Amino acid sequence: MNTATAAAITESQFADLPNGTRLHYASAGKRGAPLMLFVHGFPEFWYEWEAQLAAFGDTHFAVAPDMRGYNLSSKPAAVDAYRPKLLVQDLTQFIAALGYERAIVVAHDWGGAICWNLAIQHPELVERLVIVNSPHPWVFANALLSDPAQQASSAYMNWLRQPGSEQALAANDFEKLEGFFSGMGQPVADWFTPEVRARYHAAWSQPGEGGSHGLTGGVNYYRASPLHPPAEGTAPLRIDQMPPEAFVVKVPTLVIWGEMDMALPKSLLNGLERFIPDIRLERIPDGTHWVVHEQPERIAALIRSFVS
């Protein structure tokens, strides 16, 4: 990235939402410019989007929140506090709290899961949607039910749902949590420099609320979600209760996909046109699940060509 033209990033900003959630956020650019919202996934925080904030602050008010359960935002301990409905509500109220009626929304991983639902349920709030390596909810649900390969790739989700997974992730100086960035046969993450590692360790070390572990919030996204591979002792997902027509995305959508994603294979792109009439698909053959970090300039160029 050309640092000579990169916009300055302001951290340590907070929005107190009507639902009681307090979201910390970082931003670049001037309030009043078109809003561009960047939404992170697991196990990340706003810093996932540092390069993109710097890239788009020249033309937009670029904002990246810590989602509830992460870093400096509210971290309720209860699993029910992470139901999809409440996570979407956080974003609808956050957009309003920033003084806007709509936004260009860019999201990755769990952020994408939330923002698929945001665009489906509140298309009036989403000017354009950009999704990076996050499967459409109906397509993912169907794969989890019917595709043994996807069930195997997603088996880690059931492990994360178990009691005590947060303590296991934090053990040995976050060894297992760091493994998400280079595990499952993926190459060692060159972008995970000592400086970046220190930022992540600081975020992961933030305390939880009510005596809960600091990582409980992020793990609770998995515990609260109905989307996970079949597991003994849990109610099976009912795809028959998910009519496909209820999952149509009615806003222009760019899907960017690192095809070396070991957990979310490119087969999840099959049939997306059924759900997204106005879709542009960009495949990155040499990108992993963490392509946002691996190829930030390419990601920025793809987004800019889509939103300008």
- Residues tagged active-site: 109, 222, 289
Reading the block at residue 248, the tokens are 């149509």
Q: Are 46 and 26 in contact (CB under 8 A)?
A: yes
Cα separations (Å) of 17 from 24, 68, 94, 171?
11, 11, 7, 33
Dist. CA 131–CA 273, nearest whole Å: 14
| 108 sits in which H/E element | strand 103-108
Q: What is the largest CA-CA distance in the chain?
A: 55
* Single-letter amino acid, residue 59: T
Instruction: Give the HSE-up count for residue 125: Cα atoms under 13 Å, Cβ half-sphere.
Output: 22
Of the candidates 280, 277, 274, 279, which has an alpha carbon nearest to the alpha carbon of residue 243?
274
Q: Which burial class, exposed, middle or buried, applies to 8 when counting CB atoms under 10 A from its CB (0-12, 13-18, 19+)? A: exposed
Dist. CA 208–CA 75, nearest whole Å: 6
